[in-house]
Each structure stands twice: as structure tokens, then as C-alpha cells.
Structure 1
């Protein structure tokens, strides 16, 4: 997202901002990682955004070779409860180096159904790292897929998976497009780490904040599109990926009246084949977007004629960021990325009853244990896994879906206060069959964690 200079500086963990010109600023971030970073900020159409990251990140050491149990709320110096540390690889051991590569961002996972091996796909400002975590105590960095030639490094990179292929986008990156990477290449890597090349490329968009994939239907949706191509008002640029290495344009739609510009800009979304209680939409492809100013619920079954079902805002909206459905599609859990910065006193999760998709109802504003900003959350079974920046991974029991209850945590940045801002855990991937939870932490690197058995 883009924001005010004050929020950008505060969110980066910066202590000072130096203006070199009216449209450029440098924010020092001594609290990011072990060495500190400097963010070069540029004023764009929608506020200030980070365009370059400067510094070195070599102070943290890997933790491998065996699980570190969380005892007395600590594991290897990291604050925790109910979550054990399986392994840790710092940024400089997963492809990050000096300059723009000194932090990580988004994360996803892939399980090779042929071999049973598990892999982490980890975004960085200038590329994507691939890590074999089949032996979670000794993760192995296999190599890097560099950003598209001619694009520029930037804060945001996102990756999702369909039929053994990864689809990668980057925001504010110029002419980046969608990189397609055949993940089966990871089976036979020798001489790691290696430099990979993309398998195919889709140029229907230039930059995008995120890519959403419905693995049941074989459609991808790039969202937050900008800087060229068919941007769709920042909404859903629909891509047919049923032939994984031959993506083709399938449609374009934005939920008018949502987003800061009113064009349907979507920051992130989840698209599912609907199996919830609203029988009007059974079997339809439903997408739920975090659209800056509201949640958006839409029927995208017909790619040529998507239909907006409903949208809804809420008190003290600041930036509707991302959300995830409960597995029975009855409830939706949503985070607002900058409401804590703008005065909401504790981490807030918005709980929506979406039994009737035409009329979503906000049933609870769950307040967390700290004031940290929330970023990405995912649901598996009766647990919600939240990446809440400075307070790290938070695990919530949602057996009572309208009343989440925190039952565990792992703080990836114990040296920082758990206040609002954008240092710490960016995202997590809790879907590996092994139970390993992969967590990215912006200035630190890759954490592999395991939640203990929790009685619900």
C-alpha cells in the first residue's frame, strides 16, 4: 500500500527522515534486523512508497540441526508460547545480499506430490528464493529466480502455486509481469545455490501487488495492478492458467465504489468454489477482496461478466488489507494494516458472518494482546495463523468462530517493542502436511516453526 510520509517512516521502524527533495525522502530504520536499513521513499500518485532499500544484513546466525523447544516463553532468545523453533535461516543465507536484497517479504509453499518433498518459496525485493525444508531441522537453500530483466527491485513480491508451477508478481517494479516457474526443476538441483530462469512469462500486466490463484478452477487473478498493461482499475486481472506454462488473458473486473479511487482496487483476495450456507451461490467461484476501504464479495464464475455481490466497510477503517474464510465458508477474518498506526489501540481482527453473501455482518472486533500492525492471516482447520509484524506469528483458536482466542505465538523480532509498524513477520504458510509452519520476517529471514498440540 501507499501511505503518508509520516506513516511510511513510522511503519518502516525508522527513527529519522531526511528530505532530499520535495518528492524524495530517506528513512533510517535502525530497528530492522541486526544491522539496520535505510529506505529511499518516493512520492507517487497515492502517497509515499519505498523504492529502494540500502544496507547490509549479516548479523544474524542460522539455527539448524535440531528443534529448540519453547520453554519459559523463550526459544533461542525468541519470545514464544506454545510454538517451538524448528530452524532459522537469516536473509543472507537465503539469497539476500547488500543493497536491495537485504530483506524478505511474502512466502508460500509447494509440496511435490511425486516425491513428498516440501519447499518454501520466499520473496525478496529483487527475486524469489527456493528452500527445501523436507528435513525441517536442516533447510537447504537451492537457489534464486531473479526479478524480470528490466524491472526494478521494490518492497513487494508475491507468489502462489498451481499444478507444480509458481506464479510471481511484484508491485511498483515497472515492467515485471508474471513470472512462471516450473517447480519440478527443484527435484534435481546440483551445486546449490543456483541461478534459475523462468519457464514462461505473462506480460498482460506490468506490476501487481498480489496474485491470487483458485487451484480448483485453474484461474489466477493479479490484483493491485499498475504501471502498464491492462490494470483493471487495480482490481481483478483474470488469467487462465489451466495450461500452466501458457497463461492467457481471460477478463478484467473491479468492484466499483470500493478502493480509495473508487475503481475496485483490490490489495489481496481469496477465490474459492463456494460451499457455504448461502445456497444462491453454491458451486460458484466467489472472490473476497481486501479493497482498501471495504471488503468486496463478488461472483467471478463468468469471466466475461463478473458480478459484485456486496461490499461492506466498518468503524475506523484505515486500510482493508486481506482476509481468509473459515473452512466452512461461514465466517471471514479480515485485517486492517494501518488502523493501529492511526490509533486503534491493539491488533484488531474483524470477524464477519458471511452466511448471507449479500449481507455480510460484522459480528466482532477481536482485539489482540499487543498493539502491533497485522498483515497476513490464514486459516487451517480450527486455527488462524496471523503474521502481525512486530509481534510475529500469532495462533488463534477459532473453534468458536465468532470469538477467536489466542493460544500461541512466536515473536520473530524480540528486540522490537510490539507496537505498530512494518518490521517483523510479513506472512506465513501453515499448510504443509508435516505441520511445519513457514514464516517470513522482513529483516530477519525464514523461520520454520511447529505449533504444539492444543486442546480445543
Structure 2
């Protein structure tokens, strides 16, 4: 591993998740700012990575009257492109006893960066009937060419918003669906929800698929028809899992990497082939697992098959190889936090929080809760295209300008 650059961002436990633009001529990272410790801002930082060895803070967005707002503030952040303009969505969580308890996200127009004076707020997404805001979000360009925001909320499922409608001024009608969490002994009625999710195209079926972790485990839906999501596969009854967290598939959708948010929990790797072939509908046994240090907890991850890039809290950046999914192998690591625990906060929730990878050149970026932003390169990893590894070129990185590639599959003669 090579450390390229580092930019501290302030108080301990004041940095949350992050997102990295993919276009080389837009070298920007977006960093969520929160108060998980005892001080810090609530909003978003924009970092220029024009020179990855010298990250530069070029813009700060903050909620007005920060001290009046309860709870953490910013948590997750994603960007998107619509009608040749670029936007970021910052999820927000504010609690009772202060303003904006119904505010889930703010949308900023960031088209004309690096001129920070041009950044402007274009919309706020509110859900008065679901106070508490949005925790995690994911933005997906659907095969219908619309761009959708999937969000967690105080709801029995993931809410779906049409972002094009919002930035074009039709916020009132922009919520277009919800992906439900199936009822189970772990949760019924309003007592169930998602924590995190991923949405991607599934080439073998031609479906847009939702991969969600939440109450009871993990769930995979067909969301091609957003008004009528169809449950395809469940991963429930897993030993040690009552509530799923980050859940990410391989580019072809055969394997999934699943996280659970408690100390000592590893990342579990599952093979979905029996379910994809129709032999079963529920998969409950992992084929392997990965952890950097059994005493800690691995967190978010990005899949660039066969590599999995992990923000591992106290274990920093971790990278492992899944060429043999039954035997994950660590190929790189760097500890971004070696400081003390913070009094009054769980010791394992510190260090590397978010991770992203720029496919064009292989730049790796970590957001650390206490030490800020880090940039890395891994020896031999100069970028990623799934087809170079015999996989579809599918990852969390969206292709805003081109439709989904649907290659025909030849059929054998009878």
C-alpha cells in the first residue's frame, strides 16, 4: 500500500461516510460531517483530489443553527448527474427537541466546482410522518434511465425517490415506491426496517436488483417495476445475525458480502448459486468469512471483484481478494487510527468509516471518524473494469451517460 495524502478534518468522531466522483475531470470527494462524539459540525465537506497527494477542503455546507439540532447530523452522502448537471445528496438525522426532525436529506448543485461560490442548495426532502431523518442512502441509475434515491427511514422498508423529479421541481410527487422488509419473528408492522443496501443490474435475469440488510437478515428484490418490488432471495436464520447491515454483491450477483454491526462480527461471504438456480429461496450458511482482528469490527465495503475494499473501523483500510471465495486473502492494509478510545462512546466505533474506489485509475479514499480523509494506491491496482476479470462491468459506480449494457447470450442448439 502507498499512502498518497492525508487531510485531518477536526474533532474526534466528527467524520462519517463519503462518496467519490468517478470522472477524472471531476476530482471531488464528498464527506459527511456528524457529531458522534462531543463536538463537530453537521453537514458536508467537499474535498478536491486534483492532487491526490494534497487533498484540499474547498467547500463546507452546514445546517443552519447547528447547536439547536439534536443527534448526529450528516451520515451518508452520494452524488448523481441529471440533465448535464451534477448534484450531491447528504442524508441527515435530527432528533426530537430541536428543529428539522422531519428532514431526511438536502440536495446541492455542485456542477460548477471547483468554483465553490456556485454551490447552491436546490431541495430538501422531508417526511413529516417519519421523523428522525435518513440514515443510509444509495443512488442508482435504473435501466429505465431514471435516477433513484433509495433511503432508510423510520419505515418498514426502503423509500424510493425520483431524483430527476426533485431537481426539476416536482418534490411533491417524487416518492415513487418502497421496498418492504418482510415480516418475521425479528420484526413485524412498523418494528422493522433496513440499515443499508445496494442496487445493481443483474445481467442473468435482466432485472434491477435491490440488496438490503435489515431486520432479520438480508433480502434481494427485483425492483425493475418500482411500484411492485418482488422478493427473490432471502438470507435469514443465519447464526449470529438478527439484523443485517452493509450488503454488497459480486458484479454477476452470485456472491454477496454481508456485514453485521456488532463487536467480533466478521464479514460473511455467501454463495447464492443454489437460490439463483431455483433450488432454494433462502440461504443461511456462509461459505467463508473475513476479519482483520477478531476483537474489532469490520464496517463498510466496496466490491471491485475480486477485491473487496473495507473501511474497518479500528483496523483502518483493509483489502482482501475473493478469487477463491472460500478462502479470502488479505492483500493490503493501512491503519488510519491508532488513537485512544473516546470516553462515553463504544470503543470499536472509531477509525475508518467510509471507503470508495475510483475505477478509472484505482484511487482509494477512506473517511476516518477521527483522523479525516486519506488517499491510497495499491501496488498493481491501476483501475478496475469488471470485464478484465471475466465479470460484468458493474459496481456501485454509476454510468450516468450510457444505458445499461445488455449483451445477448447465445443459446446452444438442441
TM-score above 0.5: yes
Q: How does 1:213-362 map to 2 (within 5 A)?
A: 213-217=139-143, 218-226=146-154, 232-233=155-156, 235-243=157-165, 245-246=167-168, 247=171, 248-257=174-183, 260-263=186-189, 264-276=192-204, 282-313=205-236, 314-338=238-262, 341=263, 344=264, 348-355=266-273, 356-357=275-276, 358-360=281-283, 362=285
- 1:87 is matched with 5
**1:424 equivalenced with 2:351 (yes/no):** yes
Q: Which runs of 5+ in 1 are unaligned?
A: 1-82, 227-231, 277-281
Counterpart position of 2:314: 390
Secondary structure of 1:449's partner?
strand
For the 8 Å contact 1:258–1:296, the answer to whether it is kept is: no
CA displacement at 1:265 relative to structure 2? 0.4
1:169 to 87, 91, 108: 91
Task: Within 5 Å, give how 1:37-186 maps onto structure 2.
Answer: 83-92=1-10, 103-112=14-23, 116-125=25-34, 126-147=42-63, 151-154=69-72, 157-163=75-81, 164-173=86-95, 174-186=101-113
Distance 1:368 1:416 in 2: 21
Q: CA deviation at 1:172?
A: 4.3
RMSD: 2.8
Distance 1:187 1:299 in 2: 38
Aligned residue number for residue 332 of structure 2: 408
The aligned length equals: 343
TM-score by length of 2: 0.75
SS at match of 2:160: strand
- In structure 2, runs of 5+ residues without a counterpart are 35-41, 96-100, 383-388, 390-414
Q: SS of the counterpart of 2:375?
A: strand
Give the structure-1-normalised TM-score.
0.69
**Alignment equivalent of 1:187, drawn from 103, 114, 139:** 114
Quote the Cα distance in structure 1 between the aligned partners of 2:27 and 2:77. 16
Cα distance per residue 1:108-158 (max 9 Å; x no partner): 111457xx1311100011000000102101211111111367754516511
Shift of the alpha carbon at 1:318?
Answer: 5.0
Q: Secondary structure at the match of 1:242?
A: helix
Q: Equivalents in 2 of 1:167, 1:268: separation in Å?
A: 16
User: 1: distance between equivalents of 2:43 and 2:54?
Assistant: 23
